[in-house]
Amino acid sequence: MEYLTAKVEYDSNHITGVYVLPDYQKQGYGSKIMDYLEVEISKKYDTVLLDASLAAVCLYEHRGYKTAGHGIYELENDVKLVYEIMEKKLKVN
């Protein structure tokens, strides 16, 4: 799903990317997108997982996400992208 201000990638209860264009950052678009995704995902799942860049970990921690693991994506020329796999419980059983 793409918008003029952002791009969102997710599958089932796994959010693999939320990107807000630089001109639109710090205006609440990311929060609105996350609110929407969490509501939609909560209709079918009790938890949501996401892949977070190291720079975004604090943002997601403030939304109630906890680190569940770490991932490494190997790029060209032996470059490695390290990211956090984060989880949030959406429903209380």
Tell me the mean pLDDT per 10 residues along the chain, length 93: 68 90 89 92 95 91 96 92 95 67
Q: In which residue are the tokens 């793409």 written?
A: 2
What pLDDT is attached to residue 19? 87
What pLDDT is attached to residue 42? 94
Tokens of residue 3, six digits: 């918008």
Name residue 55's amino acid: A
**Does the predicted TM-score (pTM) go above 0.85?**
no
Domain at 6-89, CATH class: alpha beta
What pLDDT is attached to residue 82? 92
Residues forming a β-bridge with 83: 53, 71
Helix locations, the chain, DSSP H: 29-42, 57-62
